[in-house]
Amino acid sequence: MTNPAPLIPHHSSASLQAVSSSRAHRVAVVGDVHDLWDEAEEGILRHLGVDLVLLVGDFGNEAVEVVRAVAQLDLPKAVILGNHDAWFTATAWGRGLRGTRQDDRVQQQLDLLGAAHVGYGKLDFPQFGFSVVGSRPFSWGGSTWKNGSFYQQRFGIDSFAASTAKIVAAAASTTSETVLFIGHCGPKGLGEQPEDPCGKDWNPIGGDYGDPDFTAAIEQTRALGKHIPLVAFGHMHHQLRHTKTRLRKMVQVDNDGTVYLNAASVPRIVQTSSGRSRNFSLVTLVNGVVTDAALVWVQDDFTIQSQQILYQAAVRSRKG
């Protein structure tokens, strides 16, 4: 962890303060939970001044009780489920592991989350001036179409092209011209090196493991005239498998100014000499522009243990 630093203020820079009538919103992105979620989360998020929580899945191996707790979070939120959230359902080998159990834990999770689950869907947040659109839920990543029967039965989707069309249809239905995308896995195009946000870091090492349908959906959503300041995801953990000398690159920015944020800092709760600490990726948006992003570790008593600045940019006010 980096040395403790003051939390980026809600209005984070001199340039930001110079924007008259600026509309600043703090978004917390919660990376892969893997069963590490507890009753302290909401109080900490409120203390951090978070306006919206984006949760990018992998709550556990079909961990219904964890998802139940997430669903009870009384803050504006949008959720997408990950590959572990269909661990015993999506694959033949997973179905073999669950034995004679007949309960549909994937559907239980979807029912608990209700409208908060934006996989292949969207939520409009007019109070913030943007909408949130979800990519393909339960993604394992990569350019091979996997778990075809699962996607056909659950969503009527049989290909990357059909998946892209469903994501774009959700984006087209948003009420805002500004769209934040969330996925469990990130889009293809961020994995040239194993250490990149979507780079493959296991044997055979190398290759882009992003979702091609997600990439196509982003491109087609831009063609609709939508502005996309943030794409948030997880799945590819920051701790790399092939080397312990560095961590995965967490942020990348494209030529359109879109900030791509990998929030999968795992484990997200750790025990330190001064107590438990958990991480959130905090993103500030002002008038539809990402001005800063940081990985923040917070103790149960609300103390900021550390803060790693991932991205900072001068404010460029958008009209409309």
Confidence of residue 7 (pLDDT cuts 50, 70, 90): low
Residue 199 lies in a domain: yes
Arithmetic mean of pLDDT over the chain: 91
The verdict on pTM exceeding 0.85 is yes
User: In the prediction, which pLDDT does 6 show?
Assistant: 47
Secondary structure of 245-297 in the HEC alphabet? Answer: CCECCCEEECCCCCEEEECCCCCCEEEECCEEEEEEEEEEEECCEEEEEEEEE
Residue 26 falls inside a structural domain: yes
Domain annotation covers residue 7: no
Domain assignment present for residue 303? The answer is yes
Is 164 part of a structural domain of the chain? Answer: yes
6 domain-assigned: no
**Is residue 12 scored above 60 in pLDDT?**
no
Q: Is the dihedral of CA 194, 197, 200, 206 positive or negative?
A: negative
* In the predicted structure, residue 229 carries a pLDDT above the cut 60: yes
Domain harbouring 231, CATH code: 3.60.21.10
Looking at per-residue confidence, does 78 or 196 come out higher? Answer: 78
Instruction: Single out the residue of 239, 316, 241, 149 nearest to residue 249, CA to CA.
Output: 239
Arithmetic mean of pLDDT, 191-199: 91
Q: Band of the pLDDT at 98, cuts 50, 70, 90?
A: confident
- Residue 186 included in any domain: yes
Residue 319 belongs to a domain: no
Q: In this structure, what token pair is assigned to residue 316?
A: 């460029």
The total of structural domains in the chain comes to 1
Max avg pLDDT among 19-33, 184-198, 305-319: 184-198
Boundaries of domain holding 21:
14-312
